[in-house]
Amino acid sequence: MKRSVILTTIILYFCHGIITGYSDHRRANLDSLENVVVKYTPEAIGKVSEEELKDLVNAYDNLMNGYLQINRERSMLFARKQIDLASRKGWLSKKSDAEKTIGKHYWGSEQYDSAMFYFNLALKDVDRIAEIAADPQNSQGYDQETVDDSYSSLYGAIGNCLNMMDSIPQAMEYYRKAGEIFEKHGWNESSAILYYNMGETWREEKEFKQAKECYDTSLKYALASGDSLQISSAMKGLGNLWLDLGKTRKAFKYLKEADKYYSLHEDQEFRARIETLDLLGKVLSQQKKQFRIITLGSIALAILAIILLAVGRKAWIFRRQRDAADAVIDEALEDSMESEEHEVEPFLTKREEEILPLIAEGMTSPQIAEKLFLSIATIKWYRKKLLQKFEVANTAELISKAKEKGLI
């Protein structure tokens, strides 16, 4: 089963070294860079200086990454040349970078066994780099953050391969390892991407609780990073999840928020917007089906109500007559009490006793609401009840009457 997992956790490292007198050729004029390196035959490589070999391996790196998105065969060709030269010289970082790139190409063509082979080769090289970095006599200048960066990218890549091979528990274990490194260094954007991919996996496995936890975590890290694209991706994931669960209102809310971003960046995020709009279409389709079901249900309930009304008509008439009699009795009792008492003091509830002094201090409804941790609508409701209890028309009369009665 093919899953919609994005190979975003593989980090491709572009080197800054260059052939003497030659600038970055990753984005333009790759042919001219090839013309520079073509003279380095296997025989010639054995005769050049160490410094020139460093420039050559950096040129291979530039060509490997320059062709990454536009010519798979040439990218892999220069990756293999980089592996060969780096292996001769013991340049583990360059060797592992090239192995990761070849693994990515195999992953992209769904040759997962081959991808795993190269990712594991790269992982062994990073293990050796980690040993060198931990050595007090580290002579190659490796640092722990670079090691962690390489580990996290490979853990994510291996996790993606295992995911596509339906080895979900093993995939999640590698994702967990990558996540620990991201958390350690505060790499929020990488964490957002990782948890989004995990959410996609759990959602396709119908493990919706785990999926929601991962999408929520992705959104948390995306918000912390401030990356609007990752925020939108997490919201799209949540919208897709709620759509699967039939919660169309929630789905629509998250998908609409995601589309706001994609619509502003349609040139760069065209495919993402198309996917989001397709999901919004599915939400609207489901809402129409739900509306039809609700309409049919409402008709059935209306028919049932008519039947019940006909059957219980006598009981309903009797109940109305009894209520009318009770109302007459209540009215008579009220008249009797008013005749016995010259004036009835307004009775204040505990909450009204809290609010009345604050009104007297001149505080507005929003200020009182903030002070008492209530909603503004609730405070307005209490104001209205106090006006009714004191039989006054406005706040000034309320305060005056309350002072007269010694309540404030």
3-state secondary structure 189-235: HHHHHHHHHHHHHHHHCCCHHHHHHHHHHHHHHHHHHCCHHHHHHHH
Q: How far is CA 283 from CA 196, 249, 297, in A?
A: 21, 8, 21
Assigned token pair, 182: 């991201």
CA proximity to 60, closest of 47, 49, 43, 87: 87
Euclidean distance between CA atoms 18 and 60, whole angstroms: 10
Give mean pLDDT, residues 175-188: 94
Using an 8 Å Cβ cutoff, are 282 and 246 in contact?
A: no
Assigned token pair, 254: 């998250």
**Number of CB atoms found within 10 A of residue 125's CB:** 25
Dihedral class, residue 132 (left if φ above 0, else alpha if ψ from -120 to 50, else beta): alpha
Q: What's domain 188-305's architecture?
A: Alpha Horseshoe (1.25)
* Residues in CB range of 45: below 8 A, 6 or more apart: 53, 56, 85
Per-residue pLDDT of 171-180, as tens digits, reads 999 999 999 9
**Number of CB atoms found within 10 A of residue 237's CB:** 26
Task: Judge if 1-185 and 188-305 fold alike in CATH terms.
Answer: yes
243 vs 323: which has the higher pLDDT:
243
Range in 9-13, 44-48, 343-347, 348-352 with the lowest mean pLDDT:
9-13
Using an 8 Å Cβ cutoff, are 85 and 63 in contact?
A: no
Integer-rounded Cα Rg, in Å, for the chain is 36
pLDDT band at 313 (very low <50, low <70, confident <90, very high): low
The CATH number that domain 350-404 falls under is 1.10.10.10
User: What is the separation of C-alpha 90 from the centre of its chain, rounded to a whole number of angstroms?
Assistant: 41
Mean pLDDT (the chain, rounded): 82
Kindly state the greatest CA–CA separation across the chain.
Answer: 121
User: Residue ranges per domain, the chain?
Assistant: 1-185, 188-305, 350-404
Per-residue pLDDT of 60-91, as tens digits, reads 999 999 999 899 999 999 999 999 999 999 99
Report the sign of the C-alpha dihedral through residues 113, 10, 74, 78, in that order.
Answer: negative
Assigned token pair, 5: 């997992």
Per-residue pLDDT of 259-272, as tens digits, reads 888 888 776 676 77
Residue whose pair of structure tokens reads 């209205």 in the numeric block: 384
CATH topology of domain 1-185: 1.25.40
∠ Cα 20 82 62 (to 5°):
50
Q: Percent of the chain having pLDDT more than 70?
A: 79
Euclidean distance between CA atoms 130 and 137, whole angstroms: 13
